[in-house]
Structures are given as structure tokens and as C-alpha cells.
Structure 1
Amino acid sequence: MLLQGVLRLLWAFAVYLCHNLRLLLPEASAAWHSQLRCIDLFRPQLSSKGAAARSNQAERERSVPMAMALRRRLLLLLPLLFLVVLVQRPHNCVASGGGGGEPAEFEIPRDGSVLELDESNFEAAVRAAEFLFVDFYAPWCGHCKRLAPQLDEAAVVLAGLSTPVVVAKVNADKYRKLGSKYGVDGFPTLMLFDHGVPSEYTGSRKADLLVENLKKLVAPDVSVLESDSSIKGFVEAAGINFPLFIGFGMDESLIVEYGAKYKKKAWFSTAKDFSEDMMVVYDFDKFPALVSVNPKYNEQSVFYDPFEGTFLEDFIRQSLLPVTVPVDRETVKLLKDDGRKVVLTILEDESDENSPQLIKVLRSAANANHDLVFGYVGVKQWEEFSETFDVKVPQLPKIIVWDTKEEYEVVEGSESLREGDYGSQVSRFLEGYREGRTIKKKVGRGSPTLLGLNAIYILIFLVAVLVVLMYFSAQGEEDHQPRRGRAHED
């Protein structure tokens, strides 16, 4: 890019000189012809030799500056033409460090350090790294500053994986063309380049979860397991933060589509050879069987058939969430992605002594109502979110049906749950919801999650524009007032 800019400047300068040369040539030619005409001044027909001499001298005085100007421009033009020829020569050899015109190879360090890239070496780094994780940042961005130590910590672990991930960063505020090329419109923007193909990363930015996410993203869509030991190794490597799907006796082709589709959310594998011990551990009595394991919530379920139509995908999609979802800033994203309505129970405190009993009832209800997702949240755990549903502590626990957007429904007469027989109260609530005895309400405005970041960004932008307009308006008034004063004094 820099080379092209220099070339354009040189070319513009050459055009300028040529234009001036074209204008000067007629003038110089006229000057030279006038010098030749001076010879005629010595002919007898001239009436006055003194007048001829003065005319000749004047012509010479006019011609000398023009000739000198012409020579100066010609002298400038010669090195300029040399530079243009030099710049237009093939320059791949300069970058390659060797013959053949091949681009330079980028050497990837293996010490787990975070690389600082710019426009001169970014594309080479993308080509050199099988997996490159890039942070497009701005030096003034507070979120970027907080992310930096997390990346430093994660980079060391990612470099030591069996499939290493290289971590790099780019000052996209300085190298804006590079940021624009990859659609960077906010900071920080994180991207994973998988064999040169970029995809935006929107997962957790904490070092440990960042490592878990990237481990999953660089793994095969579906891992093929050949023995009990490989099954155990797969489960151990997967960790506890994401659900696992193991297809015992299943052909890989049955789930490869879903392995790619839900790669960011779960681990997928098929087990070809396994013992009866594995059947006991994962609680299935025949195969083929797809076992879903959610280690974080200690949940497990089995799907036998049919492995066709929407049945298999429905099972996978529903198993991405625990049976009852503790709602927090991470799981609320999963709820929105799921698409089902949420039966949300709002507690005063999730750690209260009565809460486990109610959560157990919700779990039983969830197993019988697969078209709904059941979740719970404590006001003490996430007050900002809870208050968007018009909660009042004396009326808790409160149960509603939320569309995960801007509306929720309450069932007449069953909005609050009294301590005691939670089972019958939840049943009456679900019965009233199915019968349509509900009142729709709008979600409050206390949670940025519900408002959406785009709306917040637009609001900030409008405020910034207003401040700028007010500033320039004030400046204009200040500039105008002194002028009026001076005019009055004059």
C-alpha cells in the first residue's frame, strides 16, 4: 500500500513537470528563433545599428531565464524517471529474502507470546499459522486494556496444545484499512483464522474459558473414538464447560452436520468400539445410541431413534441447555439462541434453604414440557436482570413465561408461589398458560441485555453528535462576538 502511494505521487509529479515542459517548449523555441533573427540585424536595410543592438540585447535577456528554467526542469525530470523505473521493477524479491519471487515466510514463535502484527506482516502471519486468534484493539479502549492480560495468560496454554493456536493483536485504530478489510466496527473485535478463513469470536473473554472455547473450535467437528481409553480421553479433554455428545455405535455421517452447526456450543464424537462398562457408565442398554452429557450440571440423557428428520436435531438442540437453567450473563445468550419460550422463576436468593426444593420441582416439570425451557434467577445473584420483570420481594418467588425478547406473560392468580406445595402450584401455572389465561407485559428497561447493545451504541452516538454540535455552536458565537466589538469600535 505504501509503495503504491509513493508511485502515485511520483507519477503525479512527472505529469506536472511534463505539463510545465510543454508550456515552456514554445517559449524556449521562440527565444532560440529570436537569437537566430539577430543575425539579420546586421543587414544594410536596417535603419539603425544602435536600435538593432538594443533589441538584440533585450531578446537575449528574455531568453536566458526561460532557457535556465527549462534546463532545471529537465535536470529534475531525469532522476524522477529513474525513480519511477526503479519503483516499477518487480519487488517480490525484496520481501522474499531470496530468489523466485515468493513472499517472505513468517516465523511463528513457539514461546506462547502474543504477536504484535501490522499491515506489513499480517497476511504472512495468517498464511503461516494453521490457527491464528487475533485481537483487533484500540489503545484507548478500556475493554481492550482489560482483555490484554487474559490474552497473555491464554496464549501460553494455547501454544502448548496438540493443535497450537497462535494469539496475535493488531492496533486497528492505527491500521484502519486492515480493520476495515475484516469488518472491524468496534473494539475489541476477536477473530479466529482457521487455515486463513476468518470467523468472529463472541465467546467468553476470561482466560480459562477462552482456552476451552478455542480448543473446541480447532478440534474436528466429530471425533472418532476407537476404544474405552479414547472415550475417557475425549471426555477429560473436553472439560466441564460444554455439553458432550457421544454416538455409541453410530455412523459419523449421522451427526457430522450437527457437529459443524453446533461446534461453538458442544463437543461431538462417535464411538466405534466400546465395552459393556461404557454402557453402564453412560446408562444405555442398546445401540446405536446418542448420549448427551452435561458435566457442568451433572446431567445425562440418551436418544435412541429415529435418527432422521428433525427428531435428532431437536434432541441435540434441547440438550445444549441443562434441564433447568441457572440464568446468568452467559446462559442468557444460550436461552436467546435456543428459540423456545422460558418459564422463568425469580427467587430472592438462589442459595436460600427453600430454593433447592423449588428447583427440583422445576426440573420435573421441564422433563414433561420439552417445548419450553425452564430457568431460574436470584435477585441477589442478578438484581439488574430480575428487576426488569417488575419483581417485589414480598411476592417472591415469582413465575412467568418470557419470550427472551421484550415481552413476558403472567398467569392470572398464579404469578407468585407460596412456600409449601410447589408442585401443585407450578402445575396450575402451566395449566393456566396452556389455556391462555395470561396477561402480557413489557420487559422493563433495567438490563442492557434486553435493550440490546446496538440501541445503546446508537444512543451514545446521538449524544456525542449533540455534544459536538453544541461545542461548534459555542465556538461560532465566541468567534462572532469579537468581530462585532471591533466593528463597533471602528
Structure 2
Amino acid sequence: MAGRRSRAALRLCATVVLLDVAFCKGFVEDLDESFKENRKDDIWLVDFYAPWCGHCKKLEPIWNEVGQEMRSIGSPVKVGKMDATSYSSIASEFGVRGYPTIKLLKGDLAYNYRGPRTKDDIIEFAHRVSGALIRPLPSQQMFEHVRKRHRVFFVYIGGESPLKEKFADAAAELIVYTYFFSAAEDVVPEYVTLKEMPAVLVFKDETYFIYDEYEDGDLSAWINRERFQNYLTVDGFLLYELGDTGKLVAIAVIDEKNTSVEHTRLKSIIQEVARDYRDRFHRDFQFGHMDGNDYINTLLMDELAIPTVVVLNTSNQQYFLLDRQIKDTEDMVQFISSILDGTVEAQGGDSIWQRLKRIVFDAKSTIVLLWNQPVASCCGTSL
């Protein structure tokens, strides 16, 4: 009797799960060749996928949740998916070159999503890009609301000017990454000191920084450099994104599960340098920590003992390893300064020798991976 009740309960749970999946799928439209003509009056968030793609299958339940939530909050953005292998000509027109590719289509513009494939991050992207490129901040209350909600955002302060035109151009290019606002001078908090108007500011790390054309160069390039917080928890995806900033990335490589003094000390030292020496290093360095050394080992083709610090130049694949014992913040500052003045020798790079080394390393890694896999018989059981 108890067994029958258990089986009935399991069947009920399975039915609920299937209904839930079907319910979520109902908010994602399957798109075909008619989409090209029918989409023009709407804003669309589209997943271009391939049926055989493992990453696409992993994204599917997340995508269904995105569709459900966008519908439930009354978003004007429609959510769809297209089999890019069946409708390859349409996918090609939208610049799809890999799977899955997520794009927000708004009029004649197509914005690529390059963030983490989580429901919240994708929805945040859709909200940001589907709205106005530059959003007005009409009051101090609205300014404070934005400051509490966004870790990094950019504000233009002033009237019409060539700088505002450059700000609009930068927003059109970089809206996929960050938020852009405009405000009158009396909306800005009293703690903000402006030497001249108009001005562009970035608010982050519980403070603000003003764009200086003579020191910072091109406005779009400055915004691209400043769109990250100064200290980050770094993973492989974020490290790739940081490569666009042109900055060196100083990372404490630690084991976050290890609570020993050495692991926590190195992380704290990097955090202190990022906070207390920002004015000295922010144009050249991004700071953070990474949990575990597996990704770094693959990147450097080396076996790094942790905890340690590595400084990466993601533009040319060079890196710098500690040449001294790090006891305190001053030791770290000296190490970073020696990288800037060229007294620490860079390793790695993209020379022919390094490329050959990469080929050998990748081949060896593949062989080790295959060797460690269980051998399967024709019946699917391991020998």
C-alpha cells in the first residue's frame, strides 16, 4: 500500500514538473523564416541555437525561465528562439557565428549578449538595452535610487555640447555592458565636486571619478576601461571580458575553502592595494581574486602553487609571477610598480615558440583526459 502511494506521489511530481516545463516554454516563441519580416515593430530577445549543441541544451531551461519572467513583469521585450541550423540564412544576416548566440533586436540594431548565462543577468541585459540609451535623472531621489541599484554607471552632467555627442556615441556602442544617464548639476549629490562643466562621471566603488580628456584620452575607451569595479571575483569568462579594457589584471589565486592565514592574507592585500592605491594604478591595473588554480594553470601552461599572485596581460598572453615574498601591502605595491617600470621580466606571450608550446600542451591535456575516461562497452557499462 505504502509502495503504491509512493509511486503515485512520484508520478504526480513528474506530472507537475512536465507541466511546469511546458508552462515556461509557452512564453518563448519558436521562430521561423517569417520572423525576418514580422519582427520590425517589436523588440526581441532571441536565442539562436543548434539542436546538437550541448551548451544550447544547458541554456534551454534558463531561457524558458527568462521568457516566463519577462511576460510576468509585463516587459515589452518578446522572447524567442531560432534553430540557426534550419534557418541559417537568417541567422547569418544577424551575424550568428556560434551557438548559442543571444541577441536583442531593436529596429535595425542587433546587440550581442556576452554576459553570464543566468536568468537574472540575461533579463538585466534586456532591460538595459531595450530602454533609452541615455536615461534622464530628474531628481536627487532618482539619482540615489540608481546609485543603490547599480554597482557601476556613467552620468553626463550639463547641457548640449560636443562632449554630450561623444557620450551618446559611447552609449550606443557600450550599452550592452553598462548604464548611461544624464542629469542637471543640481541633481548631483553635494559630495560631488565639479571643476568645470559639462562633465562625465563614473560612479562605482562607493565613490566617483571624473573623465579628463587630456589624461584619459578617448571617451569611449575610458568608459570601456572604467565599466568594471576596481576589485572583482574573477573567473575565466570575466577574465576574457577584462581583456577588452587593455589593463593588466592582478589576481590573488587562492582556495576560498582554505581559511588559513596565508590565503586570506593575500586576498586582503590585493583588496587593500585596489582600494588605497587606486589613483596610482587604476589606469593600468584591474584587481581581483580567483578561486582555484585550474583555469590559470591551463592559461599559463604551468602548475602554480597557491596561494600566489599572478599579473596577466590578456592582450598579448604575457604574465608576471612574484619575484619577492609578499609580507604586506607595501611589498605588493613594489611588485606592481616594478612591472610598470619594466624591472620584472614578463613570461609567456604569443611568440611562435609559445604557440608551439600551446599545441603540445593542448594535445597532452587531451590525451590525459581521454586516458582518465572509463572505457565503455557496447552495452554502456564500464569495463
Structure 2 length as normaliser, TM-score? 0.70
Per-residue deviation, 1:441: 1.9
- In the alignment, the residues of structure 1 paired with residue 124 and residue 58 of structure 2 have an alpha-carbon distance, to the nearest angstrom, of 19
**Residue of structure 2 in register with 1:212 after alignment:** 124
* Superposition pairs of residues 318-333 of structure 1, within 5 angstroms: 318-333=225-240
Q: Residue type matched to 1:436 in 2? A: G
Please state how far the C-alpha of 1:371 moved relative to its aligned partner: 3.4
Distance 2:274 2:52 in 1: 46
Aligned to 1:430: 336
For the Cα contact (< 8 Å) 1:397–1:416, is it kept in 2?
no
Q: Does 1:442 align with 2:351?
A: no
CA distance in 1, matches of 2:152, 2:256: 27
Q: Give the Å deviation of 1:287.
A: 6.3
1:125 to 26, 38, 41: 38
- Report the CA distance between 1:358 and its aligned residue: 3.9
Q: Deviations over 1:38-85 (max 9, x none)?
A: xxxxxxxxxxxxxxxxxxxxxxxxxxxxxxxxxxxxxxxxxxxxxxxx
Task: Look up the match of 2:174.
Answer: 262
Aligned match of 1:353 in 264, 269, 290?
Answer: 264
Query: Which residue of the partner structure matches residue 241 of structure 2?
Result: 334
**Is 1:292 aligned to residue 202 of structure 2?**
yes
- CA deviations over 1:394-441 (Å, ceiling 9, x no partner): 7x423435344422234xxx52433x3331x12332343244223332
Change (3 A) 1:399 1:366: farther
Alignment of 1:153-172 (within 5 A): 153-159=65-71, 164-172=76-84
For residues 313 and 250 of structure 1, do their structure 2 counterparts lie closer, same or farther at Cα, with a shift above 3 Å needed? Answer: farther
Q: Determine helix, strand or coil for the equivalent of 1:127.
A: coil
Match 1:415 to one of 311, 323, 326: 323
Deviation string 1:423-466 (CA, Å, 9 cap, x unpaired) is 1x12332343244223332279xxxxxx89xx99xx9xxxxxxx
- What is the rounded CA distance, in whole Å, between the counterparts of 2:59 and 2:225 in structure 1? 32
Of all paired residues, the percent bearing the same amino acid is: 22
Query: 1:403 and 1:183 mapped to 2: Cα distance?
Result: 25
Supply the distance in 2 between the matched residues of 1:117 and 1:383 (Cα, whole angstroms).
42
Q: Within 2, Cα distance between the matches of 1:230 and 1:183?
A: 37
What is the letter of the counterpart of residue 313 of structure 2? W
Over 3 Å counting, the alpha-carbon distance change for 1:135 and 1:317 in structure 2 is closer
Question: Given the superposition, is the C-alpha separation of residues 443 and 348 from structure 1 closer, same or farther in structure 2, using an over 3 Å criterion?
Answer: farther
What is the alpha-carbon distance in structure 2 between the residues aligned to residue 365 and residue 235 of structure 1?
Answer: 23
1:33-48 matches, within 5 Å, as: none
The aligned amino acid for 2:155 is: I
Report if the CA contact (8 A) 1:344-1:375 is conserved: yes
Which string of whole-angstrom CA distances, capped at 9 and with x for unpartnered residues, describes residues 276-313 of structure 1?
xx523x6436664533223xxx4322317559982655
- The TM-score, its normalising length taken from structure 1, stands at 0.56
Give the Cα–Cα distance (whole angstroms) in 2 for the partners of residues 317 and 255 of structure 1. Answer: 12
Residue 50 of structure 2 corresponds to residue 142 of structure 1: no
Aligned residues: 320
What CA deviation, in whole Å up to 9, does each residue of 1:325-344 have, x standing for no partner? Answer: 33223421331110123334
Indicate how the Cα distance of structure 1 residues 204 and 392 shifts in structure 2: closer, same or farther if over 3 A, else same: closer
Question: Alpha-carbon deviation of 1:115?
Answer: 0.6
**Displacement, 1:269?**
0.8
Whether the aligned pair in 2 keeps the contact of 1:150 and 1:207 (CA below 8 Å) is yes
Which fold has the larger relative contact order, with Cα–Cα distance below 8 Å and residues 6 or more apart in sequence?
A: 2
2:280 — aligned with what?
368
Q: For residue 132 of structure 1, what is the amino acid of its counterpart?
A: W
Letter of the 1:244 partner, please give it: F
Structure 2, unmatched stretches of 5+, are 1-24, 351-357, 367-383
The answer to whether structure 1 residue 245 and structure 2 residue 159 are counterparts is: no
SS in 1 for 2:143: helix
Seen in structure 2, the aligned counterparts of structure 1 residues 443 and 328 have a Cα distance that, compared at 3 Å, is farther
Letter of the 1:293 counterpart: F
Q: Give, in angstroms, the shift of residue 189 of structure 1.
A: 2.4
Structure 1 residues 233 and 443 mapped into 2: Cα distance closer, same or farther (>3 Å)? Answer: same
Q: Which runs of 5+ in 1 are unaligned?
A: 1-110, 445-450, 460-490
Deviations 1:98-147 (A, max 9, x none): xxxxxxxxxxxxx971111212x322431342x11222222232222221
| Equivalent runs, 1:86-235 vs 2, <5 Å | 113-119=27-33, 121-129=34-42, 131-159=43-71, 164-235=76-147
CA, structure 1 residues 286+158, in 2 after alignment: closer, same or farther (shift >3 Å)? farther
2 CA distance for matches of 1:361 and 1:222? 33
C-alpha distance in 2 between matches for 1:268 and 1:162: 23
Cα distance, 1:167 vs. partner? 0.7
Q: Which amino acid aligns with 1:438?
A: V
Q: What are the superposed Cα offsets for residues 196-215 of structure 1, whole Å, 9 maximum, x if unpaired?
A: 44343333321110000111
8 Å contact from structure 2 (residues 32, 87) kept in 1: yes
Partners of 2:218 and 2:112 lie apart in 1 by 30
Work out the CA distance in 2 between the residues paired with 1:270 and 1:362.
Answer: 28
Counterpart code for 2:249: V
Q: Which residue of 2 aligns with 1:406?
A: 317
Q: CA deviation at 1:366?
A: 3.7
Radius of gyration: which is bigger? 1
**For the Cα contact (< 8 Å) 1:254–1:307, is it kept in 2?**
no
The aligned amino acid for 1:116 is D
